[in-house]
Protein backbone atom coordinates (compact mmCIF):
# COMPACT_ATOMS: atom_id res chain seq x y z
CA UNK A 1 0.00 0.00 0.00
CA UNK A 2 1.20 3.48 -0.80
CA UNK A 3 1.97 5.59 2.25
CA UNK A 4 0.05 8.77 1.47
CA UNK A 5 1.36 10.58 4.55
CA UNK A 6 4.91 10.42 3.21
CA UNK A 7 3.75 12.00 -0.06
CA UNK A 8 1.95 14.76 1.81
CA UNK A 9 4.96 15.39 4.07
CA UNK A 10 7.26 15.38 1.03
CA UNK A 11 5.33 18.29 -0.43
CA UNK A 12 4.69 20.26 2.76
CA UNK A 13 7.88 19.58 4.75
CA UNK A 14 10.36 17.39 2.84
CA UNK A 15 12.68 16.53 5.78
CA UNK A 16 9.71 15.07 7.68
CA UNK A 17 9.07 12.64 4.82
CA UNK A 18 12.54 11.09 5.09
CA UNK A 19 12.81 10.79 8.88
CA UNK A 20 13.14 7.00 8.60
CA UNK A 21 16.38 7.39 6.60
CA UNK A 22 19.97 7.97 7.69
CA UNK A 23 21.03 11.22 9.33
CA UNK A 24 23.01 12.36 6.29
CA UNK A 25 19.99 11.93 4.04
CA UNK A 26 17.79 13.93 6.38
CA UNK A 27 20.41 16.69 6.57
CA UNK A 28 20.80 16.77 2.78
CA UNK A 29 17.06 17.09 2.21
CA UNK A 30 16.89 19.71 4.97
CA UNK A 31 19.71 21.70 3.38
CA UNK A 32 18.10 21.53 -0.06
CA UNK A 33 14.81 22.65 1.47
CA UNK A 34 16.50 25.54 3.29
CA UNK A 35 18.21 26.74 0.12
CA UNK A 36 15.09 26.55 -1.97
CA UNK A 37 11.96 24.51 -1.32
CA UNK A 38 11.64 22.77 -4.72
CA UNK A 39 14.97 20.82 -4.63
CA UNK A 40 14.04 19.49 -1.19
CA UNK A 41 10.66 18.31 -2.48
CA UNK A 42 12.25 16.67 -5.52
CA UNK A 43 14.85 14.89 -3.36
CA UNK A 44 12.23 13.65 -0.89
CA UNK A 45 9.93 12.41 -3.67
CA UNK A 46 12.86 10.69 -5.37
CA UNK A 47 13.77 8.87 -2.16
CA UNK A 48 10.16 7.79 -1.56
CA UNK A 49 9.78 6.50 -5.13
CA UNK A 50 13.15 4.72 -5.00
CA UNK A 51 12.24 2.92 -1.78
CA UNK A 52 8.82 1.97 -3.13
CA UNK A 53 10.38 0.42 -6.23
CA UNK A 54 13.09 -1.36 -4.21
CA UNK A 55 10.58 -2.98 -1.86
CA UNK A 56 8.40 -4.09 -4.76
CA UNK A 57 5.35 -2.12 -3.70
CA UNK A 58 5.09 -0.36 -7.04
CA UNK A 59 1.91 -1.23 -8.86
CA UNK A 60 2.49 -0.89 -12.57
Is 31 within the bounds of a domain?
yes
Convert the pLDDT of each residue in 4-53 to its tens digit: 899 999 999 999 999 999 999 999 999 999 999 999 999 999 999 999 88
Count the alpha carbons within 13 Å of 26 in the hemisphere toward its beta carbon.
8
Is 29 within the bounds of a domain?
yes
pTM of the model: 0.85
Q: How many domains does the chain have?
A: 1
Domain that holds residue 20: 4-54
In contact, 14 and 33? CB cutoff 8 Å:
yes
Give the 3-state secondary structure percentages of the chain, helix then strand then coil, rounded to 5. Answer: 75, 0, 25
Amino acid sequence: MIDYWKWIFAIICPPAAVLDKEVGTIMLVGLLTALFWVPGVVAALYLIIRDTVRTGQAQL
